[in-house]
């Protein structure tokens, strides 16, 4: 068993209650149905730039999903950085004009968290301007106490645990400690990032994380949720505190 699995092996049987105050979450795949839609959009952009999109391309994207956009395109399409940057501009424009749809129940969960006094923190590698335009179109910005974008974490991305630094420091100013937070992701690299940061980690199956990943990227079976819509029920079981209203 490698060091990573030894470090988090106890999580496979984690069932204890905890005081929860902060909810860290990814945007794409957790709140936005942008995984499969993202694959389709990359295929369209490849056609525009006359780049072949094959089954191997799709497989590479599937297994590397979670990398920052430009790096993802360079790695999976085997293209230059300059071309990847041009394609990423097109991808961001596509998302601004036609934001990926919300995962069913995502808006209701965010509102429920806010009404119950929990602080939601968004952790994403999207550029801030693009991110804010999407949140504005979806009328979601008000639901987050902290928004962390690419500009807030220069030089690193998940699974580097430093991606949480900005959000942790902001919530600490509000009296919320790391051991009172949970993280919700949707990719294998999200699970590594959460565990490296020593934050209780949940994974949503509306992204590329599959049950077959559990051997290499272990997560408590109880922490694998079908979608963000199941989060309130998980919290009712694990939060050692009162709720102002049930979901």
Q: What's the pLDDT tens digit per position in 51-99?
A: 999 999 999 999 999 888 999 999 999 999 999 999 999 999 998 889 8
Q: Note the pLDDT of residue 99.
A: 87
Q: Note the pLDDT of residue 174.
A: 95
Q: Which phi and psi (to 5°) does residue 167 adopt?
A: -65, -40
Q: Note the pLDDT of residue 8.
A: 46
- What's the rounded Cα separation, in Å, for the pair 206 and 156? 24
- What's the rounded Cα separation, in Å, for the pair 118 and 23? 7
Token pair, residue 234, equals: 């998980």
Report the DSSP beta bridge partners of residue 146: 121
Q: Note the pLDDT of residue 15.
A: 57
Rg from Cα positions in the chain: 18
Token pair, residue 48, equals: 């525009």
Token pair, residue 158, equals: 């998940």
State which residues of the chain have pLDDT below 70: 1-15
Report the DSSP beta bridge partners of residue 36: none
Q: Note the pLDDT of residue 77.
A: 97
Task: Give rounded-to-5 percent helix, strand, coil for the chain.
Answer: 55, 15, 35
Residue 69: closest CA among 94, 52, 97, 98: 94
76, 38 contact by CB (below 8 A): no
- Sheet of 22-25, strand order: 146-148, 119-123, 22-25, 181-185, 200-204, 224-225
Q: Note the pLDDT of residue 59.
A: 93
Report the DSSP beta bridge partners of residue 32: 28, 102
Q: Note the pLDDT of residue 212.
A: 87
Q: Note the pLDDT of residue 13.
A: 45
Q: Note the pLDDT of residue 10.
A: 42
CB atoms within 10 A of CB 11: 18
């Amino acid at each position: 068993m490698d060091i990573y699995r030894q470090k988090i092996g106890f999580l496979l049987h984690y069932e204890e209650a905890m005081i929860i105050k902060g909810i860290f979450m990814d945007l794409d795949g957790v709140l936005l149905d942008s995984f499969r839609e993202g694959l389709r959009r990359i295929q369209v952009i490849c056609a525009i730039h006359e780049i072949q999109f094959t089954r191997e391309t799709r497989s590479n994207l599937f297994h590397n999903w979670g990398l920052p956009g430009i790096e993802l395109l360079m790695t999976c399409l085997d293209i230059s950085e300059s071309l990847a940057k041009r394609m990423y501009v097109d991808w961001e424009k596509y998302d601004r004009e036609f934001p990926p749809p919300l995962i069913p129940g995502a808006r209701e969960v965010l509102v429920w968290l806010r009404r119950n006094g929990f602080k939601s923190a968004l952790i994403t590698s999207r550029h801030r301007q693009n991110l804010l335009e999407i949140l504005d179109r979806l009328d979601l910005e008000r639901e987050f106490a902290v928004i962390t974008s690419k500009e807030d974490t220069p030089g690193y991305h998940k699974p580097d645990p430093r991606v949480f630094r900005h959000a942790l420091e902001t919530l600490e100013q509000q009296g919320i400690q790391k051991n009172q937070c949970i993280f919700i992701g949707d990719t294998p690299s999200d699970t590594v990032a959460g565990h490296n940061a020593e934050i209780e980690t949940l994974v949503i199956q509306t992204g590329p994380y599959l049950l077959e990943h559990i051997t290499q990227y272990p997560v408590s079976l109880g922490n694998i949720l079908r979608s963000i819509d199941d989060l309130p029920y998980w919290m009712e079981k694990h939060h050692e505190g009162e709720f102002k209203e049930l979901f």
